[in-house]
Structure 1
Amino acid sequence: MGSLLTLTISNCYMYFYQQDIVKQISNSGGLYFRYIDDIFLAINWPIRHFIKQVDRRNQFDSNIRLSANISLHADFLDLHMENQNGQLFTNVYHKPSHEPYYLPFNSIHPLHMKKNIPFAMFLRAIRYCSTFNAYLQERESLRMALLLNKYPGDLITSQFNRVLSKFEINDQLSIRNYERLRDQLIQSFHPSRDRTPFDHGKMMFVHYTYCTNMKSFPMKFHNLWHKYFDNSPINEITPILGTKNVDNLQKRLVHTRS
């Protein structure tokens, strides 16, 4: 990509380049989404008119060439969408080059990072899979991939259950209740609300190099903090611990593999 600013500058340029397109699509009651150089459109236009608009846009800048892929199904990022006899079907999209490889459980990373992988993947499976059968297939593929990466079965199951608990789903998903409970999860899914606001004037971020014998460090750190600063004005500052990984061969191999 060249300079580190290349992607940012490209996104800035595309933001202004797409304004007329977004306005035209919105005025026609369509949907427009873009991620870097991938664009997804859903609009009720005749195919000939759509192709004509694409050709017209290609005259604006010789450095940007739009190519149209019109079909009853589409893959956008990690989502597969399909028109099945007038019904919208969706599930998780895996590229042909996809391999069942995740952060190995025996790698030197904090446990909370490893727990978040099955949690996030299971949450994605429910959100993306519009039918119970598609969800089952994705869930079992995910479980098998995690087992191959040395994740304990009990941990996988506990993180699956944590997703249901987080969204107050008390019943196990089944073919009878899947549509209703999935809709409940989607309606209550608001990532921006779950983010903890940071007040940098009252928070101190401390990063330390994580290794196996540092598992108990966060608890010891907070105990010492409260012991020595409990009655001090500095106690108004909230320390937040973050981790850095050991720069070893395993880390480099994982980084290269991913």
Structure 2
Amino acid sequence: MLDYLELKQISGLKIETITRLSRFVMKNNYFLYEGQYYHQIRGGAMGSPLTLTIANSYMFFFERNIVKKITNSGRLYLRYIDDIFIIINWPERHLNKQIDQWNTLDTNIQLKAQVGQSITFLDIYIENINADLFTNAYHKPSYEPYYLPFNSVHPLHMKKNIPFAMFLRAIRYCPTFKAFLDEREDLRMALLLNKYPGKFIDNQFNRVLKKM
């Protein structure tokens, strides 16, 4: 990666210094569980900004040949961390064969396909109807309406961003006005359960409308 970027330093820090610090963090992940200390010797801590950055950097190089093959077919390839969305007009058998081949690139990264006229990708439901794509908001079966409680000590801007992002997603994803109203009501109820004041919720919804 460093050879690819051809950088000598970043924000005043030498690449060698960044590499040593990163290696130190990755090799010194400890956690306490039921009174016992553990040392993580493989992978990185979930949720760590450094782990996410390294994972994305590695995936950039891992996926280059895959992206090239997809885009050369005139199709679409998108990735968010470890979730990939592909639109391609290949026979399913051929796609599965390609995935088997890609899974030999690194035994630690194994791709699994969900193929169909409709799929879920992160928090969106996507359906192909006569070559037109329709979307809707999607919640996993394990979804529970628990969010950052309003009475927590977190900064106010974080609490504002939660309903703002939720309502923005509903507007973008819902295919009809009725679907949006249903989703908005569900989100509002979830926020009220987490002690968000009604006026606060309305203010964030209005903030979304001003951004549209």
Q: Taking structure 2 as the reference length, what is the TM-score of the superposition? A: 0.69
Q: Are residues 139 and 47 of structure 1, via their aligned partners in 2, closer, same or farther at CA, if it must alter by over 3 Å?
A: same
Aligned partners of 1:51 and 1:68 also within 8 Å: yes
The number of residues matched between the two structures is: 167
Q: Distance in 2 between matches of 1:60 and 1:104?
A: 43
Match of 1:153 in 2: 198
Residue 81 in structure 1 maps to residue 123 in structure 2: no
1:42 aligns with 2:87: yes
Q: Which of these residues, 60, 70, 73, is aligned with residue 105 of structure 2?
A: 60
In structure 2, relative to structure 1, the CA distance for the partners of 1:9 and 1:163 (3 Å cut) is closer
The residue matched to 1:63 in structure 2 has which SS?
coil
2: distance between equivalents of 1:109 and 1:62? 40
Scaled by the length of structure 1, what TM-score is found? 0.58
Kindly provide the CA deviation profile for residues 175-210 of structure 1, in whole angstroms up to 9, marking residues without a partner as x: xxxxxxxxxxxxxxxxxxxxxxxxxxxxxxxxxxxx
After TM superposition, give the deviation of residue 60 of structure 1 in Å: 3.0
Q: Call closer, same or farther: CA 1:150–1:42 in 2, change over 3 Å.
A: same
Shift in alpha-carbon separation, 1:113–1:52, aligned structure 2, 3 A = closer
SS at match of 2:196: coil
Q: Structure 1 residues 117 and 11, CA, compared in 2 at 3 Å: closer, same or farther?
A: closer
* Residue identity opposite 1:36 in structure 2: I
Superposed CA RMSD in Å reads 2.1
- One-letter amino acid of the counterpart of residue 108, structure 1: V
- SS of 1:68's equivalent? coil
Q: Select 1:69's aligned residue among 98, 114, 125.
A: 114
Call closer, same or farther: CA 1:9–1:117 in 2, change over 3 Å: closer
For residues 164 and 55 of structure 2, what CA distance do their matches in structure 1 show? Answer: 33
In structure 2, what is the equivalent of residue 2 of structure 1? 44
Say whether 1:92 aligns with 2:137: yes
Structure 1 distance, partners of 2:163, 2:123, is: 16
Which residue number corresponds to residue 58 of structure 2? 13
Q: Which runs of 5+ in 2 are unaligned?
A: 1-42
Report if the CA contact (8 A) 1:89-1:131 is conserved: no
Cα distance in 2 between the residues matched to 1:106 and 1:31: 43
Q: Which amino acid aligns with 2:196?
A: Y
Give the 3 Å change call, closer, same or farther, for CA 120–9 of structure 1 in structure 2: closer
The correspondence of residues 1-258 of structure 1 with structure 2, limited to 5 A, is: 1-2=43-44, 6-167=51-212
In 1, distance between residues paired with 2:55 and 2:159? 33
Query: Which is higher, the Rg of structure 1 or of structure 2?
Result: 1
Q: Residue 27 and residue 146 in structure 1: after superposition, are their counterparts in 2 closer, same or farther (change >3 A)?
A: same
Q: CA deviation at 1:94?
A: 1.3
Distance of aligned partners of 1:6 and 1:51 in 2 relative to their CA distance in 1, 3 Å threshold: same
* Residues 1:23 and 1:146: Cα distance change in structure 2 (over 3 Å): same
- For the structure 1 residues 58 and 145, does the alpha-carbon distance in structure 2 shift closer, same or farther, using more than 3 Å as the test? same
